[in-house]
A and B are shown apart, each in its own frame.
Chain A
Amino acid sequence: MRRRSTTALALAAALCATAAVAGCGSGSGSGSSAKKTVSTWVYPVINDPKANDAYWNGLVKGFEAANPGITVKVSTYPWANRDTALTTALSAGKGPDVAYLIPDQLPAYQRNLVPADQWMTPADKAAFRPSALKAVTVGGTALAAPVLMSSYPLLCDKKVFDAIGETTYPTTWDQLAALAPTLKAKGFYATSYSGDTTATLNMTFYPLLWQAGGDVFSADGTKSAFASDAGVKALTWLKTFVDNGWTPKDLVTTTPQIEQTDLAKNKVACTWQNTAAEVEPFWGKENIVVGPALGDTAAVAYGTVGTLAMFKGANTDAAGKWISYVAQPANSAGLEKPGGYFSPRTDAAPLYPGDAQQEATEKVLGSTDVGPLNKAARDVMGVLAPQIQAALLGKTSPKKALDDAAQAADQLIARKR
């Protein structure tokens, strides 16, 4: 009798625990599509937390007033480990309805996203710059709405050029390499290349690959394409800089805080890995010379597009209205301007009238690439970045490094398909 009652008690406890756990897992997050609450995850695109809160609170207030019955909750999360947080939340069924994503993330979350064709208005779609729309299109399907754009032209430090008595700024590989020995003789670096494997290759190596006429993936996306003559040329050029001490060797493996770098100490002549807003506190606005995209066979720069994407489980109508509202030029301007970003739309008024640097940066938007939009893009970076490091540190040749990486990459691509 005692044993039976104990068993019954244990069974009841187990049921209670199961119910409790089930209760934990069925929270709001991405619940039924009948709900009119839109949870939104954003990141500190606006660095100042107070300004960031003020911007989003103002936007939510305006949207809710114009759309009675829809409630928007905006949560700002740190940039660091954002994928970890988002992946974990989605896995637990606690993901957001709308989130700020960059193009690089879109293929990775494609399964979880509601295609933009289901909620983007034709008027909005027609208003986006073609390069912005291309940056959110994966396999022919637009997955998000662009809300800002940036480009990474070649920035040069006038102070460094004054110190070596040079008045012409480089625009090509050959010109930069020709200046490098003079710069080194005077204690400067020609550039600062970040080879740390945690840094995205979209900003570091891929621009060189594109400039040499190469690409990361084949046109149909089924194979890697970086182990080409263009790839070897780009890596060999970069290795010359490391071997000759024209770029800080420590940066091949580590990424210190920007204030600890030679770039911040006015010791680096030019960079294609930073924006004017990033270097301005160290160089001073008057010393930033904005050039075109660095070029060899072609002049191409990295550029990113900030987007708002909708996750499955969201109320498509409510979340779509909210995204469209944020993407209106008048509303997204407050997000774009503090960080020096640009509007992804052609119907937006100029954000920086009279600012020569920003106008020069805006001109580069047309020749930017956001990086490969392939499901295996990150996996490929994972195998390519260490091989690039190995080549730069002289552990292997550029050709062998790229061939080895391509072999591993092709297996990964095949597995992801």
Chain B
Amino acid sequence: MAAVAESRSRPRTRPQHVLRGPHARREARVGLLFVAPCFLLFLAFRFGPGIAGLVLGFTDYTIGDSTHFTGLDNFQRMVHDPLFWSSLRVTVVYSVIAVPFTIAASLGLALLTRRAFRGSRLFRSVFFLPVVTSLILASTVFIWIFSTKGPWSSLMGLLGLPEQSWLTDSALVLPALALVGIWSRCGYGMLILLARLQDVPRELEEAALMDGAGPFQRFRHIVAPQLKPAFFFLAVIETTNSFQIFDAIYVMTGGGPANASYSLVYQLYDAGFKYSDLGYASALGCVLFVMTVVVALVQRMVLGREK
């Protein structure tokens, strides 16, 4: 008994799963062998093109022509390109609208479908459906929804707001696109938060209930802290996703009206595939990459300080 008590009180100073010796090394090699195909594919189709893109950003690469190293020319050109600043602003504004609302909508849906009730699985499936629906297809429908004669305009009319197409208004086009983004992404966020919510101990909430805590207090002091890692994950994923917004814009507005929805990835696409200016397109890709990494690091500092 005393030995058991001693072993329980002894602090664990060494990790439990560190294996040593020839057997362990053989096992590690086998593990690496299993990982190797995936790792090689990653190198060939993700890491390799990524590095190539980075290098091309410092050249004047155009298809069928000789390529020259141009140093920082593409980046200097970017600094003086008003379209770059405009597309950067569009990307940031879109993200500022889309990311928090997507997480909020995901949280709302997760809390609604958290408890098992009759039809809860059906609701979860329905809420998840937009994630697996083609955004191109959905965007075609949203063009009609947001048109002057569409239901969204009629709804605005009922609320006493002007009946107009949100896609033709420079101030409203990004909120309209963000709505589409939120619609298409909140099902995924719901799933992540739902999984995390299942791990929140019921006893804690019940104890708080006994102590007279209201629903908001229970959520704020018990549920929300438990969801922090999931919020961090969602913030990174959704920010990355919204920085890369392209398909809905391409189908719904073509970057208009008057470049009011012309995003950074749209500019990258046009530079690369419309104007064959692949060096500049690669430089834009580098900036997008740096932006994504910086924002992810900031999010990690703010949201992910605790493990």
Contacts and interface: CB of A to CB of B under 8 A. Distances in A.
B258 A390 contact: yes
A390 B170 CA distance: 9
B148 interface: yes
Nearest to B168: A253
A167 interface: no
Nearest to A256: B143
B256 A386 contact: yes
B168 A395 contact: no
A393 B257 contact: yes
Interface string A240-251: 000000000110
Contact of B140 (A196, A197, A257, A382): A257
B44 A21 contact: yes
Contacts of B53: none
Contacts of A249: 148, 165, 168
Contacts of A386: 255-259, 262
B103 interface: no
B64 A109 contact: yes
A295 B65 CA distance: 41
Given A87-B63, A390-B257, A382 B275 contact: yes
A19 B174 CA distance: 48
B167 interface: yes
Interface in A301-316: 312
A109 B165 CA distance: 38
Interface size for chain B: under 10, 10 to 19, 20 to 34, or 35 or more residues? Answer: 35 or more
A254 B273 contact: no
Contacts of A81: 273
B276 A253 contact: no
Interface size for chain A: under 10, 10 to 19, 20 to 34, or 35 or more residues? Answer: 35 or more
Q: Which of B64, B144, B258 has the most chain A CB atoms inside 10 A of its CB?
A: B258
Nearest to B150: A250
A256 B140 contact: yes
A253 B64 contact: no
Contacts of B27: none
B148 A112 contact: no
A393 B148 contact: no
A405 to B, nearest CB: 11
B144 A395 contact: no
B64 A250 contact: no
A166 B256 CA distance: 36
Nearest to B36: A13
A108 interface: yes
A252 interface: yes
B9 to A, nearest CB: 43
B244 to A, nearest CB: 16
A250 B262 contact: no
Contact of A108 (B168, B276, B278): B276
A383 B147 CA distance: 25
Interface in A69-126: 81, 83-84, 87, 90-91, 108-109, 111-112
A378 interface: yes
Given A112-B63, A382-B274, A393-B168, A253 B140 contact: no
Contacts of B258: 386-387, 389-390, 393, 395-396
Contacts of A253: 165, 167-168, 173, 253-254, 256-257
Given A112-B63, A256-B144, A250 B273 contact: no
A382 B257 contact: no
Contact of A378 (B165, B252, B274): B274
Q: Which of B167, B253, B262 has the most chain A CB atoms inside 10 A of its CB?
A: B253
B270 interface: yes
A378 B140 contact: no
A317 interface: no
A90 B64 contact: yes
B250 interface: yes
Nearest to A383: B83
Contacts of B273: 81, 83-84, 87
A195 B255 CA distance: 12
B40 interface: yes
B285 to A, nearest CB: 15
A149 B140 CA distance: 31
A87 B277 CA distance: 11
Interface in B257-275: 257-259, 262, 270, 272-275
B252 A254 contact: yes
A198 interface: yes
Contacts of A21: 44
Interface in A17-60: 17, 21
A44 to B, nearest CB: 19
Contacts of A168: none
Contacts of A382: 270, 274-275
Nearest to A197: B254
A17 B40 contact: yes
A111 B64 contact: yes
Interface in B21-68: 40, 44, 62-65
Contact of B250 (A87, A108, A198, A396): A198
Contacts of A197: 254-256
Contacts of B255: 197, 386
Contact of A252 (B44, B140, B257): B257
Q: Which of B167, B168, B273 has the most chain A CB atoms inside 10 A of its CB?
A: B168
B267 to A, nearest CB: 9
A254 B185 CA distance: 23
A6 to B, nearest CB: 11
Given A17-B40, A111-B64, A378-B274, 5 more contacts: A196-B256, A253-B165, A254-B253, A256-B140, A383-B83
6 contacts: A83-B273, A250-B147, A253-B173, A254-B167, A256-B147, A389-B257
